[in-house]
Amino acid sequence: MEFTALYEKAKSVLNPRKINDFLEAGGVGAAILTKSGNVYLGVCIDSACSLGFCAEHAAVAAMLTAGEEQIEKIVAVNWDGVVLPPCGRCRELLSQLQLNQEKIQVMVAQDVVVTLDELLPYDWKETV
């Protein structure tokens, strides 16, 4: 699957909405393509007390729930369709999930794809 199709899948789950005075959801959508060719989707949850999580975390949780763990590609998009690079917390989750992280392809901007190791050049796990 090309990133264009993966981008469209991430965009398809966008549904920005206010759940209540303390919780919003769906402003960012993410899509993961696994080594086996399956796609897992997630949306962000933003809470007033910062206990929410990113769309990438939701997609990883869906993937793990389905019994998979090998990511090939990942992309996240904002409510207006702009590609977002993963935040530091998401980069760290991906790097701990898949130790051969240099192989994970990450779309960080429209038509810009890098590997996870390029996003985390000084990985702390290499010193352990």
Cα–Cα distance between 21 and 30 in angstroms, integer?
24
pLDDT tens for the 128 residues of the chain, in order: 999 999 999 999 999 999 999 999 999 999 999 999 999 999 999 999 988 999 999 999 999 999 999 999 999 999 999 999 999 999 999 999 977 656 899 999 999 999 998 998 888 887 76
- Domains of the chain in start order, with CATH, are 3-127 (3.40.140.10)
Q: Residue 101's pLDDT is what?
A: 59
What's this model's pTM, rounded to 2 decimal places? 0.93
- The burial class, CB within 10 Å (0-12 / 13-18 / 19+), for 88 is exposed
Q: Residue 48's pLDDT is what?
A: 94
